[in-house]
Structures are given as C-alpha cells and as structure tokens.
Amino acid sequence: MAALAPLAAPSTPLSGEPEPAYDVVVVGCGMAGAVAARQLAGHRVALLEARNRVGGRIYTAGEVEGVPQPVDLGGSMIHGFREGVPTAKLITHELGMDVHVPQGAKGLVYGLNGPLAEAEATSLFATSAQNAFSPPSGVAADASIASLLIPTLKSDPRLVALARTAEIGAGVELEGMSAKYAGFEQGFKGTDGFPEGGYGEVMKNLVADIKAAGGEVHLGVEVTKIEDLGADKGVKLETKDGRTFTAKAVISTIPLAVLQQSPPTFQPPLSSLYTSAIERMRTGSLEKIVLSYPSAWWPSPDENGSFLLLPLHDPSVPLDDAKPASLRDLFSRIVIPVSSFQRIASAPHPTLLAYIGATAARYIAAYPADDVTSAFHDYLVSRLSPSALPPAPTVKLVTEWQRDPFSRGATSTPVPLTQSKDGERASPLDFIIVSRPIWDGRLGFAGEHTDLDNHGSVAGAAISGQREGLRVKELLERLAEQEANEQGKALL
C-alpha cells in the first residue's frame, strides 16, 4: 500500500471558542467514505460507521460463512478494468493488489428445451445488440423503455428476455425506466476484473492506510443529527448512543434509500431543491444467491463460466402482473444469470452465484432465506441437469440488502419515471443536485448516487469519494490560510 503523510498537528484556536475536535468527519465507511478519508491524509479525520464492520454495501463472504474462497455479496467486479476505470488504478497501483481477469470461459444460454447451440446463442446475442434501445427524438417524458422496446421484440420472447437482463443490474423494471434518458450516463464498460481476496480486502487495505495516517474509524456509531454551527464553529454530529462529534467539515456518504426513508436530522434542514431530487430518485433491488457444493455437478464445469437461464414463460408480462404463486414459479418467469467460480475464480471452487434483480428481488425478500436457497437449488438442477442427482449444497447464502437498515436496497437506478410533490419529473440533473455541497462547503455528499456517469457501481462510489475528499482538502487549506492571515493581523 502507498505510504501516506503523517497526521497533522492541531492548529491553535483564534479565540476562546473551542476548536472542532476533527478537521473532517466522514459519515459511512463504505467505498466512498474510505476513499474520501484516504484523500485527507494529514488532517484530523474520523469515520463514523453505523454497522459493526467496514465496507457498507461491500461484503466479502469467506471462512465465517464456510465459503471455500472469498465471494463478494455486494460490489464484486471492476467494470472497465482495462478501459481506464479509476478503481483499477486505486486497487492495483495505489493499494498494490492483484486483480484476476478470467480468460476463455464459455457461457451457455438455456431456453425452453435446454441449452442453445453455440451458433444459435451467438446469433441471438447479435440480434439483441442490433435491437438495443436508444431514445428516439421527441420521446414523451412519461414513456418507459418497456413501452417502446418490448413491442418491437415480442415476435421472439428470447429477445425480450435478453432485454430484461438490463433490469438486474439496474434493480428496476424496464417499465419503470425513463425512455427519454436511457443511456444518458457514460460509465465504464468492458473488461471485468475481480480483486484478489474480494472487495473486502480492498476495504481492509484502505482502512489500514487511513489508520496509518492517524485517521480514526468508529464502528457501531449511527449518526442521528448533523448540525451546522456556523462559519467559525464547524459542524456538530450527534449519534444514537448519545455521543457528539465536531468537525470543520463533514462528508456524508449515507445511501440514497436511507436518505429517503430514515435520514438523520439536518439542521438547518436540507433545501427543497435537494429533498425533491432525493424524492424523485430510486434505489434498485438486487440480491445474490450463493450455493457452494462438495463438487461441481453442472455441465462442463472446467469450461463453462456462466449460465443464462431464460424464462419459461412470456417475459413481456411484468412480474407483478404475472403474480407468481411460488418461488419455483417466480424463478421460472425471470431471466437469471449464474456465475460458476469453478471456472472464473483464480482459485477454482464449486460455487454458483445467481443474480436476482428488480421485482424478483423484492419478491424473494418476503421469504425465509432457507426457502429461497432450497427452491433455487431445485430450480437449478431442473434447468442445468434434470437427470442428475447432484450433492446437496454445503453452503447456502442469500443476501438481504433490502432488509439492511443501513442500505435499504442495492444502488441507485437509471432515471426513473417518477416526479416529486412539486411536479418536477426525474432527470439526470438529480444526480448532480444531490452531489452539491451545502453550508458554504462544510457539508458535502458522496456515494454512488452522487455520480451521474457511474452511479450504481463501486466506481461511482470511489469517484465520488475522491471528488469530495479533494474538495474538502482544498476547503481546509483555504480555512488554514484565512486563519494564518487573521493571526498575522492580530500580531500587528
């Protein structure tokens, strides 16, 4: 890991007013918060994390859960690893970590009658790419992607299913995505890399750097109030357990859904411009199901790195309209990507991971975890190898990000078809509004939902943390310069 500057000595107060205990307090020790704090090496920094662990929506399962090798249950891949995404430089150059890029893995697509032939699958993906949605000119503000795209694909339900794969990462249905602003963001795509040891190891190294520079990390500290004390007094934070922290500046990385559903009290209150933008934005639903086995029983495990299970029912029918009667019925109505760590991991292990997004993720959240994993194991066997008698899974996990009080979902969605009470419709501008600092810069906001081009990703969180860390660093330098000037005048 890169060596960081030592902790700066505290400056002398100008008057009888108490000096804020910290230069900066960062609320939240996920990727955004950790990157921001690391940018501020040399200043008095404290991170306050409500959970009893670091990482936020990053969590790597390992020995505790019984998984043979690390498996990320939240953020997992470095998208655009070879295409210039900043997190690649952070992880490989600054933290000195290795990244695994799977090579040569095959993927199978399963239709109604089993796996498609390679030529058929290739042709299907090519046709899907040719029919990819792009907003037509003059599209109505209330038009959804589904309303314009699905009618053009209905002649081949498989194309509709492939179109719906976009819902998984977005966490919201095509029926809820704005057609007008489809593809507005310009995030990093291309090569996918996996940090060795998982993103949990990335967080461990970031925190080690922060602590080496004198920063503090406080776990189990839930912030309930953030109050601006004024230009010379800084910002005060109150916590659920009755503690008080003061700082010259605060960076909030509180997730979007928490800001919407159970935010801390802000004093003075956030502007109507900010709260209306928060009201219009949406947090998506994405859960992962992980099944680890004594041995790999699925087709050609040393060759196939992924399986795409197309629905067994008409995918043009939204899931809420279909009203699935059981978990098995639910799984049969959605498209499900499944990754095999027997093929794509740097240290192969017989583990499968499935992505369940959007409405389907909200459905499974209503069931006990054991019911979800057992039903999905049975469904996998019926689709991948119906005549096999595979071993029972030794590890069964399903994430519960929607139930987590400190995330309340996955990540922010593309621009939704929503409007706030003031009548304004959602637009890409909302991502900009919620990224703007307030209180003369003493309170700033970071997190994936504050980055227009990379929202919904680890990259967005890291980029926003770097943005706010640098901004606050410059703010502190200006304050120090003003303080020095005042001290100079006082001596004259």
Span 235-253, mean pLDDT? 97
The verdict on residue 410 lying in a domain is no
Q: Is 171 helix (H, G, I), strand (E, B) or coil?
A: coil
Give me the pLDDT at residue 6, please.
31
Which range among 17-21, 143-147, 232-236 shows the weakest confidence by mean pLDDT?
17-21
The verdict on residue 10 lying in a domain is no
Among the three residues 398, 426, 448, which one is the final residue of a domain in this structure? 398
**Within this chain, do residues 296 and 394 fall inside the same structural domain, yes or no?**
yes
307 pLDDT tier (thresholds 50, 70, 90):
very high
Give me the pLDDT at residue 382, please.
96
Mean residue pLDDT across the chain: 94
Is residue 74's pLDDT more than 50?
A: yes
Q: Which residues pair with 115 in a beta bridge?
A: 110
Q: What is the dihedral of CA 198, 200, 201, 205, to 10 degrees?
A: 150
Give me the pLDDT at residue 490, please.
75
β strands within 350-456, DSSP E: 351-357, 395-398, 443-445
**Within this chain, do residues 42 and 177 fall inside the same structural domain, yes or no?**
no
Among the three residues 345, 366, 398, which one is the final residue of a domain in this structure? 398
CA 492 vs CA 224, 480, 486, 488: distances in Å: 44, 19, 10, 7
**Within this chain, do residues 165 and 211 fall inside the same structural domain, yes or no?**
no
**Within this chain, do residues 71 and 208 fall inside the same structural domain, yes or no?**
yes
Length of the chain: 492
Give me the pLDDT at residue 138, please.
92
The verdict on residue 165 lying in a domain is yes
Q: Which residues pair with 110 in a beta bridge?
A: 115, 309
**Within this chain, do residues 74 and 54 fall inside the same structural domain, yes or no?**
yes
Could you give the number of structural domains in the chain? 2
The verdict on residue 459 lying in a domain is yes
Q: Do 319 and 376 meet the contact criterion of CB atoms below 8 Å apart?
A: no
Is residue 271's pLDDT more than 60?
A: yes
Query: The domain that contains 218 carries what CATH number?
Result: 3.50.50.60
Rounded to whole angstroms, how far apart are CA atoms 175 and 167? Answer: 10
Other beta carbons within 10 Å of 316: 17
The verdict on residue 11 lying in a domain is no
Could you read off the pLDDT of 44-54 as tens digits, one per residue?
999 999 999 99
Give me the pLDDT at residue 79, please.
95
Annotate 275-308 with b (16+ C-beta within 10 A) or e (fewer).
Answer: bbbbbbbbbbbbbbbbbbbeebbbbebeebbbbb
Q: Do 190 and 79 meet the contact criterion of CB atoms below 8 Å apart?
A: yes
Residue 151 CB-density burial (10 A; 0-12 exposed, 13-18 middle, 19+ buried): exposed
Percent of the chain residues topping a pLDDT of 90: 91
Query: The domain that contains 118 carries what CATH number?
Result: 3.90.660.10
Other beta carbons within 10 Å of 164: 25
CA 14 vs CA 24, 35, 236, 249, 298: distances in Å: 19, 31, 19, 18, 70
Q: Is 179 helix (H, G, I), strand (E, B) or coil?
A: coil
The verdict on residue 3 lying in a domain is no
Is residue 103's pLDDT more than 80?
A: yes
β strands within 302-414, DSSP E: 304-309, 336-340, 351-357, 395-398
* Peptide linkage before 86 cis (omega within 30 of 0): no
**Within this chain, do residues 258 and 146 fall inside the same structural domain, yes or no?**
no
Span 80-92, mean pLDDT? 96
Rounded to whole angstroms, how far apart are CA atoms 262 and 284? Answer: 17
**Within this chain, do residues 156 and 243 fall inside the same structural domain, yes or no?**
no
Give me the pLDDT at residue 330, please.
98
**Within this chain, do residues 319 and 351 fall inside the same structural domain, yes or no?**
yes
Is residue 122's pLDDT more than 70?
A: yes
12 pLDDT tier (thresholds 50, 70, 90):
very low
The verdict on residue 407 lying in a domain is no
Percent of the chain residues topping a pLDDT of 70: 96
Could you read off the pLDDT of 455-481 as tens digits, one per residue?
999 999 999 999 999 999 999 999 888
| Residues 6+ away with beta carbon under 8 Å from 458 | 31, 58, 75, 78, 87, 199, 448
Strand 351-357, strand 336-340: pairing = antiparallel
Among the three residues 365, 398, 431, which one is the final residue of a domain in this structure? 398
**Within this chain, do residues 443 and 380 fall inside the same structural domain, yes or no?**
no
Q: Which helix (H) or strand (E) holds 293?
A: none
Whose tokens are 């307090």? That residue is 25
Give me the pLDDT at residue 1, please.
35
Q: Is 235 helix (H, G, I), strand (E, B) or coil?
A: strand
**Within this chain, do residues 156 and 264 fall inside the same structural domain, yes or no?**
no
Give me the pLDDT at residue 362, please.
96
Task: Give DSSP secondary structure letters for 103-148.
Answer: -S-EEEEEETTEEPPHHHHHHHHHHHHHT---PPTT--TT-BHHHH
Q: Do 202 and 29 meet the contact criterion of CB atoms below 8 Å apart?
A: no
**Within this chain, do residues 297 and 271 fall inside the same structural domain, yes or no?**
no
**Within this chain, do residues 325 and 361 fall inside the same structural domain, yes or no?**
yes
Q: Is 89 helix (H, G, I), strand (E, B) or coil?
A: helix
Outline where 13-61 has alpha helix (H). Answer: 31-39
Give me the pLDDT at residue 492, please.
67
Residue 42 CB-density burial (10 A; 0-12 exposed, 13-18 middle, 19+ buried): middle
Supply the range of the domain harboring residue 74: 22-99+193-281+418-491
The verdict on residue 125 lying in a domain is yes
Span 342-358, mean pLDDT? 97
Is residue 482's pLDDT more than 90?
A: no
Which range among 18-22, 131-135, 145-149, 304-308 shows the weakest confidence by mean pLDDT?
18-22
Give me the pLDDT at residue 388, please.
80
